[in-house]
Chains A and B, each alone.
Chain A
Amino acid sequence: MPTLAQAARALAVREVSSVELTRACLTRIEQLDSTLNAFITVDADRALQTAAASDQARARGEVGPLAGIPMAIKDLFCTEGLRTTCASRMLENFIPPYESTVTARLRAAGAVILGKTNMDEFAMGSSNETSYFGPVRNPWDTSRTPGGSSGGSAAAVAAGLCVAAIGTDTGGSIRQPAAMTGITGLKPTYGRVSRFGMIAFASSLDQAGPMTRDIRDAAMLLQVMAGHDPLDSTSIDTPVPDYVAALDRPVREWRIGVPEEYFSTGLHPEARAAIETALEVYRGLGAVIVPVSLPYTQHAIPTYYIIAPAEASSNLARYDGIRFGHRCDQPKDLKDLYARTRAEGFGPEVKRRIMLGTYVLSSGYYDAYYRKAQRVRRLIADDFSRAFRDHDLSVILTPTAPESAFQLGEKNQDPVSMYLSDIFTINVNLAGLPALSLPCGFDAAGLPIGFQLIGRPLDESAILTMGHAYQQASDWHTVTPGISP
């Protein structure tokens, strides 16, 4: 499967049509998705119609920046008239009456939407195993998880079922699966991309972003996705820079902060070795590696697993069986309707987080847990701003995940060990910063390893430029899994 940039070029010179490209994706999906389970809904007919219309529009000279590009969308974005489940039984038959801003922007730019990808239920999970529609399998080794929660989007890009995909990231759900499937995944600054029409998990943390074959594709997609939206009151109203034009800046003298806390216990030796080799590549490009300290790093997991469930328990109160979604049979009264509808509609991990969130917000515990976590959240955010300022850093470089893709079933019996796998990504969400993951090698089992670049608020250009410089000097991002029908 071509990259987005390659596909756009081939379409522009009429080497290929959008219908041919879309058909190629649909064929791959037909051949491989019974194994991978990356899609919850494939919208083949409408995709082909859109592709045909795109080819006709091109013939008339009307060409949007994503004209004719077949894409996959995480099943968390509301798509008007197209089932949107959030991988939950609760929304198994939900057909949104409106379109999310992200998908509306992609469609307006000419993208062809192939379908909706599998994910952890309500984006709660790090392995895609909490999906009501069954786990996604990693194309590099189908006995393993592709990561989560945007595991379907990650597997679809890695296995060439689409040209590019969209995910969402509340605690690492774009970056961790990107690392585990050998692709590039970007979480923008909180507020850079509109959340309108994204099914809410934790509203102060959720952010949408591109999942692509390389950095250039991520820049091209962010260009379309980013921008102010009056329908999202937390959307930032500042101009969107030209991300693609910024890619080719030289990174000589750029300062890369490397926080010691991310390289201590918990990081697998093979991941450490791959990341140290990546640092050598940057030294070779003339960048300056600066050791820094982010002392509150270790407190991010408890902080996140108070704040995110607290927000989730409020957001998920809307699933009451009245206006949309699942409703239990023969409720005896309204209370019974609520309690049984929710017991049947939500899976175990979602219920666990609703319980946890309700507990930390309940009378007598609010200050000890929720208020405390909000204060520590500020300390974690301050760690980053101090490091960027005191060391005059352009970016911070860390591992993305402590280990490569683990086996399906390995961690899903123990919520605490699953939560610990988010250690390197959730700090960024708490601080609201932009960050991306890109591939930097393979372990002995042949599984991809990724590293993470974190930027200053709204400086997506810096992490994209830095990532692009690495991909110009390496070819890990061009290696694809050998999965075949």
Chain B
Amino acid sequence: MSITEETIRHVATLARLEITPGELQTYAGQLSRILGLMEQLRAIPTEGIAPMSHAVEMTIPEREDRVVCQDRRDALLANAPDSAEGCFRVPKIIE
């Protein structure tokens, strides 16, 4: 299994990770090796086997539809890298 640098660039864009040319090469090599390890699964017959998405089979519990949130605006904003007037501040997103 060989992953091209172009694929790595595409995946990095999807993952919102800036990567350097050096990392591009490293990840292409490492991911190729790791995915090589995954190849052994192909040989296992799994037709008719239901995918297991969780360790415990359970239905999603429902709670009473009641507002329980307190106003914790200031406590939550305290961790924000940038905030103003009770809001998170981000760079301009509309040109």
A179 to B64, CA, bound (A): 44
Q: Find out whether the CB atom of A372 lies under 8 angstroms from the CB atom of B15.
A: no
B17 beta carbon closer than 8 Å to chain A: yes
Tell me whether A339 and B16 are in contact in the complex, defined as CB-CB below 8 angstroms, given that A299-B41, A323-B88 are known contacts: yes
Please name the 6 residue pairs, one residue from A and one from B, whose CB atoms are nearest each other, closest first.
A432-B55, A374-B51, A327-B81, A324-B79, A375-B46, A378-B52
Q: Find out whether the CB atom of B80 lies under 8 angstroms from the CB atom of A323.
A: yes
B69 beta carbon closer than 8 Å to chain A: no
B-side residues, CB < 8 A to A, are: 3, 7-8, 11-12, 14-19, 23, 27, 30-31, 33-35, 37-42, 44, 46, 49-56, 58, 60-61, 63, 72, 75-76, 78-82, 88, 90-93
A339 to B12, CA, bound (A): 9
The closest CB in chain B to the CB of A320 belongs to: B16
A236 to B55, CA, bound (A): 11
A15 beta carbon closer than 8 Å to chain B: no
Q: Find out whether the CB atom of A355 lies under 8 angstroms from the CB atom of B12.
A: yes
Q: Find out whether the CB atom of B52 lies under 8 angstroms from the CB atom of A415.
A: no
Q: Which residues of B contact A204 (CB under 8 A)?
A: 53-55
Interface hits, A426-444 → B, CB 8 Å:
429-432
Q: Find out whether the CB atom of B55 lies under 8 angstroms from the CB atom of A431.
A: yes
Q: Find out whether the CB atom of B37 lies under 8 angstroms from the CB atom of A325.
A: no
A279 to B91, CA, bound (A): 63
A-B contact pairs, 28 of them (CB 8 A): A97-B72, A97-B75, A190-B55, A230-B63, A234-B56, A236-B58, A298-B40, A299-B41, A302-B38, A302-B39, A323-B80, A324-B79, A324-B81, A325-B79, A336-B91, A340-B18, A342-B16, A346-B17, A355-B12, A359-B7, A359-B35, A368-B42, A372-B46, A375-B46, A375-B50, A381-B52, A416-B33, A457-B56
A95 beta carbon closer than 8 Å to chain B: yes
The closest CB in chain A to the CB of B95 belongs to: A333
A311 to B41, CA, bound (A): 19
Q: Find out whether the CB atom of A372 lies under 8 angstroms from the CB atom of B91.
A: no
Tell me whether A355 and B81 are in contact in the complex, defined as CB-CB below 8 angstroms, given that A372-B42, A416-B33 are known contacts: no
A340 to B27, CA, bound (A): 17
Q: Which residues of A contact B80 (CB under 8 A)?
A: 322-324
Tell me whether A369 and B38 are in contact in the complex, defined as CB-CB below 8 angstroms, given that A342-B17, A354-B17, A355-B31 are known contacts: yes
Q: Which residues of A contact B60 (CB under 8 A)?
A: 233
- By secondary structure, the A interface counts as helix
A373 beta carbon closer than 8 Å to chain B: yes
A403-419 CB contact bits vs B (8 Å, 1 = yes)?
Answer: 00000000000011001
Q: Which residues of A contact B61 (CB under 8 A)?
A: 230, 233, 237
The closest CB in chain A to the CB of B7 belongs to: A359
Residue from B18, B30, B46, B63 within 8 A of A342 (CB atoms): B18
Residue from B27, B40, B52 within 8 A of A355 (CB atoms): B27
A8 to B45, CA, bound (A): 54
A346 to B34, CA, bound (A): 20
Q: Find out whether the CB atom of B41 lies under 8 angstroms from the CB atom of A376.
A: yes
Whole-angstrom distance between the Cβ of B10 and the nearest chain A Cβ: 8
Q: Find out whether the CB atom of A358 lies under 8 angstroms from the CB atom of B15.
A: yes
Residue from A313, A334, A355 within 8 A of B90 (CB atoms): A334
A191 beta carbon closer than 8 Å to chain B: yes
A308-342 CB contact bits vs B (8 Å, 1 = yes)?
Answer: 00000100010011111111000111111111101
A254 beta carbon closer than 8 Å to chain B: no
A205 beta carbon closer than 8 Å to chain B: yes
Q: Which residues of A contact B91 (CB under 8 A)?
A: 331-334, 336-337
Q: Which residues of A contact B11 (CB under 8 A)?
A: 355, 358-359, 362
Whole-angstrom distance between the Cβ of A90 and the nearest chain B Cβ: 11
Q: Which residues of B contact A72 (CB under 8 A)?
A: none
A263 beta carbon closer than 8 Å to chain B: no
